[in-house]
Amino acid sequence: MSGKLIPLVPTVTGRLLTVGLVISWYASNIGVLLLNKYLLSNYGFKYPIFLTMCHMMASSLLSYVAIAWLKLVPMQAVRSRLQLVKIATLSLVFCGSVVSGNISLRFLPVSFNQAVGATTPFFTAVFSYIMTVRREAWITYVTLIPVVTGVIIASGKGIIAHLVKLGDEGEPSFHLFGFIMCIGATAARALKSVVQGILLSSEGEKLNSMNLLLYMAPIAVVFLLPATLFMEENVVGMTLALAREDIKIIWYLLFNASLAYFVNLTNFLVTKHTSALTLQVLGNAKGAVAVVVSILIFRNPVSVTGMLGYSLTVIGVILYSEAKKRNK
């Protein structure tokens, strides 16, 4: 009896580790999303570029600790000036996606933000076709119809209300500028994945996600610092003034920045212990969980039409993932 149980111990331990990593990835992902929303919208910390820069500074420091000190992965060197330029290009696109996403959280509820964010596969397919002229199977493009239709259903009433100035008769909590920023963030996120595939496709230039973040994060800080100083004037002074009134803002920022790095770390570890496809499927479910949790916490109004649209988008993303898997 004991002889049969001994071989199962490593398997059980491995499964528990995987489950623990998935839970940690979910918690950190949803946690940083909700904390961003709380800081930028509810708390009144109206500095999304500075907040993104804090994330990148924490990622720079903690990436170095994880790779150079903890040896979680081997250190990979940048092999040429051209490769560094490619990484800088990725970093610029990445900055655009994160900053736009944080700006959108100031104006939109998390539920609507997640609905728009779920259209990433649509933008990925478009950019992939434009930049690589690579066509997918026709069924893959068909699955994108419910992805886009869902967001149109969820946001269409709000857009029309803005155009004809119906005011409060539109979709609850709809904000046109926030919607544009959210679309921009989603498009930039898709563009990054396509550009990354093009720029770092050769064997000599491939970097794992943790090493890529190690080099991208400090470059992002260089991009974000002048943008912060120019567009969010006296942000440090305002933050210190807020801290004198409520010291918790400092702890919020430190925890938020550390959690943002933890999202990338758990993302890498979950992919390593499962697969990229599993991560994609888990990501689809994560969006739905984030929506439910945000509604419970922030009590933001959600219409039946909005939930119907979001549900249709999630179904479309699941069908898209399945179509991609079958055509590989």
Domain map (residue ranges) of the chain: 46-71+79-327
For 328, residues 6+ apart whose C-beta sits below 8 A from its C-beta are none
Q: How far apart are CA 54 and CA 64, in angstroms?
A: 16
Q: Are 157 and 220 in contact (CB under 8 A)?
A: no
Q: How far apart are CA 85 and CA 118, in angstroms?
A: 30
Question: Phi/psi of residue 201, each to 5°?
Answer: -90, -25
Q: How far apart are CA 123 and CA 129, in angstroms?
A: 10
For 243, residues 6+ apart whose C-beta sits below 8 A from its C-beta are 249, 250
The reported pLDDT for the residue numbered 158 is 53
Q: Are 299 and 64 in contact (CB under 8 A)?
A: no
Which residue in the block uniquely carries the two structure tokens 């990622």? 59
Question: Phi/psi of residue 301, each to 5°?
Answer: -70, 135
Question: Phi/psi of residue 293, each to 5°?
Answer: -65, -45
The reported pLDDT for the residue numbered 77 is 92
The reported pLDDT for the residue numbered 170 is 42
pLDDT string in tens for the chain (328-residue length) = 445 544 545 566 778 888 898 899 989 999 999 999 999 988 889 999 999 999 999 999 999 999 999 999 999 999 889 999 999 999 999 999 999 999 999 988 887 888 788 888 889 888 988 888 777 788 888 888 888 888 777 766 555 554 444 444 444 456 889 989 999 999 999 999 888 888 877 777 888 889 999 999 999 999 999 999 999 988 999 999 989 999 999 999 999 999 999 998 998 888 887 766 566 667 767 777 787 788 788 777 667 777 787 788 888 888 887 787 777 6
Which residue in the block uniquely carries the two structure tokens 């990433």? 120
